[in-house]
Amino acid sequence: MTNRAKKLLRDEDTCTSICLDAVDALLTDAWWAWEPESVWLELDYHKVDIPVSNREQIMAGRALLTTGSFWYDAVAFEKACIAFNNEETAHVGMEDAPVHYIAWALDEAEYILKQNGHASLVLDREPALYTAIQLAEEGFITTPDNLHEYQPLLDKQLRLDDKSKKLQKEITTAWGDAPKDLKDLLSVAYPETAAGVQLMRLAHCRVYVEKRRQARLRQRALLS
């Protein structure tokens, strides 16, 4: 397992949950209380050169379990959403985490909680509002699959008129009838209409999250 853990930590596409377990495999549980520099020095001793993006997601994943700031602090939430998607984060100021990044980050966060024996949590006011604002800015009027509980906040941001509410219901019905298989979903020819654009956004988000889930399963099998 040691060599497989090293390989996964060097790979910039490795998911956060797998990175955490790979560090556990090399350093045991003690590293959770170490300063970041001590973690990197010890991994360097094991001849593991970790990309910056993986270092950031390891620290974000650890903070998810040790401080919980992901769930209540908008800045921590935003940085984690970017890190969980294998991107380097800006260390100063706010930056936009795209909706599909948020959707995957929440999926991964729930997975990490479950893997470590913690109960599910929900976003507090700040990160929930951040999510609703991001949805509105990207033009969503209905939320992607695992963001449904933030629909009321999105509705408040949009202040929909009767015509838009009718469109929203149309999209909700059409999305419920959308193919569940990814290949079928990708093959749908979405019309160039208001509803078609919305359905295409939802499909993009679902495909992105599902592909990341599949990658996580492959990486989990490799680590086992």
Q: 188 with 105, same domain?
A: no
Specify the pLDDT at position 93: 61
Give the Å distances, CA to CA, from 138 to 60, 82, 100, 123, 150: 25, 16, 10, 20, 15
Q: Burial, 22: exposed, middle or buried (Cβ in 10 Å; 0-12, 13-18, 19+)?
A: buried
Residues 48 and 105 in one domain: yes
125 class by beta-carbon count within 10 Å (0-12 exposed, 13-18 middle, 19+ buried): exposed
Return the DSSP state at 121.
-
Q: Which of 105, 121, 137 is the last residue of a domain?
A: 121
Last residue of a domain, one of 53, 86, 121: 121
91 and 156 together in one domain: no
Measured CA to CA, the distance from residue 114 to residue 124 in angstroms comes to 19
Q: Name all contacts of 178-187 with Cβ < 8 Å and 24+ positions apart.
A: 178/202, 178/203, 182/206, 182/207, 182/210, 182/211
How far is 224 from 220, CA to CA, in rounded Å? 6
Name the domain boundary from 103, 121, 139. 121
Low-confidence ranges of the chain (pLDDT < 50): none
pTM of the model: 0.94
Does residue 72 sit in the same domain as residue 140? Answer: no
The closest alpha carbon to 178, from 187, 165, 166, belongs to: 187
